[in-house]
């Protein structure tokens, strides 16, 4: 639809990795493996934390929710990216783009607050161990998770509406791997300064505030651990906290650089790499960081595998037994 010399954009083209035409098949294979590993790894953590009664504690309750969130978060981005690589059709309608952006922002805000909740849980467990089960009772844990999931919904819906209320005219090419705010503002017409200010305000609220709460929690945690006598749970406390801090550094580091750095130094190539960190790399490494560094999860996994192997062996034995009896009766017994 044309009006004067301007073309009103009705759909976008997500360029993705268009500049690597010879590697489309390779990238499809790599991202497929990554997506499957995210689904399997995080799904395994959800199953383990549900079936083992020893893991029915606040820490593993939050970890199970976090793993479920990671599956949802990547499922907003990766299936569409894989379809674009497979079909080479990178077109996306305005409505589909708005839906993807809205879910991406809501789940991103949920991840920020859930990581802050997990840090608060560790703070109470280490700094106030005698009151841990009183403070972090089941009702409080459920309330913290529910608030983490829903608190960003109205704000992020409003931000999505504000972005897509802008007129998009001229170029419809988004030099990114999915519908995100920086590439959308780049192709919007007119003055976007109000929108950029709103983006910074929301980023400060949903990224910086949880990040500062996490830093405050871990300052208190580290001070408490260092005051403990040598050998009194120091290594276990440091191991649990370091796993969480690695995830926090990967997610918040890339998100803060993406949304809070000045517009003048934005680069499409850097934005693509950073977006892969907080949408793909963190969910992929989450099961490895929390699983391989956690003795309780490893012990539960070994228990499940040993039961499964024993059951398979028993089934194999019952299959072999009738054949052995038949052979014994027909060939070894005297007629």
pLDDT of residue 283: 87
The top-scoring range by mean pLDDT among 68-77, 199-208, 251-260, 271-280 is 68-77
Per-residue confidence (pLDDT) for residue 251, from 0 to 100: 82
Is residue 333 scored above 80 in pLDDT?
no
119 Cβ neighbours under 8 A, 6+ residues apart:
213, 214, 217, 218, 244, 248
How far is the C-alpha of 333 from the C-alpha of 335, rounded, in Å?
A: 6
Query: Looking at 82-86, 198-202, 227-231, 301-305, which range is the least confident one?
Result: 227-231
Tell me the average pLDDT across 278-286: 84
- Tokens 């007119």 correspond to 190
Query: Would you list the domain boundaries of the chain?
Result: 8-320
Range of weakest confidence among 159-173, 201-215, 278-292, 319-333: 319-333
pLDDT classification of 329: cutoffs 50, 70, 90:
very low
Say if CB 211 and CB 204 are below 8 A apart.
no
The alpha carbon torsion through 96, 102, 108, 112 (nearest 10 deg) reads -170
pTM over 0.85: no
Q: Which of 205, 234, 206 is CA-nearest to residue 221?
A: 234
The tokens 């949920």 sit on which residue? 110
Which CATH superfamily does the domain covering 8-320 fall into?
Rhodopsin 7-helix transmembrane proteins (1.20.1070.10)
* pLDDT at position 12 over 80: yes
Question: pLDDT value at position 168?
Answer: 83
């Amino acid at each position: 639809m044309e009006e004067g010399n301007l073309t009103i954009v009705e759909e976008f083209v997500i360029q993705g990795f268009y500049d690597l035409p010879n590697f489309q098949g390779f990238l499809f294979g790599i991202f497929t493996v990554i997506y499957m590993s995210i689904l399997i790894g995080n799904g395994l953590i959800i199953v383990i934390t549900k079936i083992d009664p020893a893991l029915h504690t606040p820490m593993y309750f939050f970890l199970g929710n976090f793993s479920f969130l990671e599956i949802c978060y990547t499922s907003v981005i990766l299936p569409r990216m894989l379809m674009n690589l497979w079909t080479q059709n990178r077109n996306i309608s305005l409505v589909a783009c708005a839906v993807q952006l809205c879910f991406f922002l809501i789940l991103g805000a949920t991840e920020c607050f859930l990581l802050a909740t997990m840090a608060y849980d560790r703070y109470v467990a280490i700094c106030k161990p005698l009151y841990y089960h009183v403070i972090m009772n089941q009702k409080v844990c459920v309330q913290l998770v529910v608030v983490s999931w829903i608190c960003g919904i109205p704000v992020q819906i409003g931000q999505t509406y504000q972005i897509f209320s802008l007129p998009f005219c001229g170029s419809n090419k988004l030099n990114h791997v999915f519908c995100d705010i920086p590439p959308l503002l780049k192709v919007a017409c007119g003055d976007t300064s109000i929108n950029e200010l709103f983006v910074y305000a929301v980023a400060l609220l949903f990224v910086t505030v949880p990040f500062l709460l996490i830093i405050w929690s871990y300052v208190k945690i580290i001070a408490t651990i260092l005051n403990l006598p040598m050998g009194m749970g120091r290594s276990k406390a440091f191991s649990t906290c370091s796993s969480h801090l690695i995830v926090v550094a990967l997610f918040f580091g890339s998100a803060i650089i993406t949304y809070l750095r000045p517009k003048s130094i934005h680069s499409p190539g850097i934005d693509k790499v950073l977006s892969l960190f907080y949408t793909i790399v963190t969910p992929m490494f989450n099961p490895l960081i929390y699983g391989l560094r956690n003795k309780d999860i490893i012990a539960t996994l070994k228990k499940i595998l040993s039961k499964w192997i024993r059951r398979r062996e028993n089934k194999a034995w019952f299959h072999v037994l009738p054949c052995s009896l038949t052979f014994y009766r027909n060939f070894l017994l005297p007629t």
